Amino acid sequence: MAAIIDGKAVSAKLRQEMKGEVAALQAKGIAPGLAVVLVGEDPASQVYVRNKIRACEELGIRSQDHRLPADTTQERLLELIGELNNDPAVHGILVQLPLPKQISDQAVIAAIDPKKDVDAFHPQNVGKIVQGNYDFLPCTPAGVMALLRSTGVPVAGKECVVIGRSNIVGKPMALLMLHEHATVTICHSRTRDLAEVCRRADILIVAIGKARFVTAGMVKEGAVVIDVGMDRDENGKLCGDVDFAGVEPKAGYITPVPGGVGPMTITMLMQNTITAARLAGGAV
């Protein structure tokens, strides 16, 4: 039976510590502020934005909520980004993705001041992450690292397999594990004999986007299994990329969905906002 990695508990502990960090900054006259920008009315994005603003309120971080209609032009959005870049009360800028099709995600990400890029998607920040010399880490992979740390399982020297190579999750995840001295393999849709590769993993991190794709036969006995997936099963129920019921008896540690990686992502966004405010305030 695996130990369950409780993302809600880890997240709550970190947020408690962050309240202290916010208070310490406020005592120095720095009030951390996050601007959240949502273009259009995508229901999932609306939920994510609401949760981000609620997390700010809980921690005493000031938030700005910018809602733009779905037919907003790229020019108008870039104009807003320019205003937020120049606003000293805004330390972090988060543009909720995906954007409507008339707007280029890449153009918008590149327009954000890298010092306010709390998603860590700007090419300058991506480059710094590759070099291992960064101010911000992308929120979901950073959350996974915090969950791994909470287990106390050492990462150095371990075989780590990451399934998925997206810019948001898979690629930065693999880099962070490499920085922690794991031996890392990245798998994707063209990987031959995926199950055989996965069975080598001491630490298996799954970010595919396919409900219950990873089954017990793909997992080594005692492995740490981190499920980043947020999927809907055939009944519309939220589930992960890992077949939890089948894999849990075989794994050493496992994250549930919901309640695993999910709660960590917003927590790490809050951490990045606090870091941005600290850096802007001249304190390291």
Active site residue 74: no
190 binds ligand NAP (CB under 6 A): yes
138 binds ligand NAP (CB under 6 A): no
Nearer to ligand NAP by C-beta: 182 or 187? 187
Per CB under 6 A, the segment of 78-86, 124-132, 205-213, 217-225 that binds ligand NAP is 205-213
Q: How many residues bind ligand NAP (CB under 6 A)?
A: 25
User: What CA–CA distance (Å, rounded) separates 106 from 260?
Assistant: 29
229 binds ligand NAP (CB under 6 A): yes
* Residues 241/212, Cβ–Cβ less than 8 Å: yes
> What is the DSSP pairing of strand 33-39 with strand 253-254?
unpaired
Three-class SS state of 120: coil
Provide the minimum distance between the beta carbon of 213 and ligand NAP in the complex, in angstroms, as a whole number: 7
Per CB under 6 A, the segment of 8-16, 55-63, 88-96, 186-194 that binds ligand NAP is 186-194
Active site residue 119: yes
269 binds ligand NAP (CB under 6 A): no
* Residues 262/231, Cβ–Cβ less than 8 Å: no
Query: Of the candidates 18, 22, 20, 55, which has an alpha carbon nearest to the alpha carbon of residue 36?
Result: 55
Provide the minimum distance between the beta carbon of 81 and ligand NAP in the complex, in angstroms, as a whole number: 22
Per CB under 6 A, the segment of 35-43, 83-91, 108-116, 228-236 that binds ligand NAP is 228-236
Per CB under 6 A, the segment of 23-31, 56-64, 175-183, 259-267 that binds ligand NAP is 259-267
Please, what is the Cα angle at 44 between 170 and 233, to 5 degrees?
70
Active site residue 46: no
Identified catalytic residue from 113, 119, 135, 202? 119
194 binds ligand NAP (CB under 6 A): yes
144 binds ligand NAP (CB under 6 A): no
Length of the chain: 284
- In the chain, DSSP assigns E strands to 3-4, 33-39, 62-68, 92-95, 159-163, 183-187, 203-206, 224-227, 231-232, 238-239, 253-254
Query: Which bin fits 36, alpha (ψ -120 to 50), beta or left (φ > 0)?
Result: beta
Per CB under 6 A, the segment of 76-84, 94-102, 166-174, 217-225 that binds ligand NAP is 166-174
- Dihedral sign (CA 126, 67, 89, 80): positive
164 binds ligand NAP (CB under 6 A): yes
254 binds ligand NAP (CB under 6 A): no
Cis status, amide bond into 249, omega within 30 of 0: no
Give, in order, the Cα–Cα distances in Å from 96 to each of 29, 38, 136, 161, 179.
29, 5, 17, 29, 28
User: What CA–CA distance (Å, rounded) separates 222 from 33?
Assistant: 42
Lookup: tokens for 247:
């894999």
- Per CB under 6 A, contacts with ligand NAP among 88-127 are none
Which amino acid is it at 244? F
163 binds ligand NAP (CB under 6 A): yes
2 binds ligand NAP (CB under 6 A): no
142 binds ligand NAP (CB under 6 A): no
- Given the rule CB under 6 A, which residues bind ligand NAP? 140, 163-166, 168-170, 187-191, 194, 207-210, 228-231, 261-262, 265
Catalytic residues: 52, 96, 119
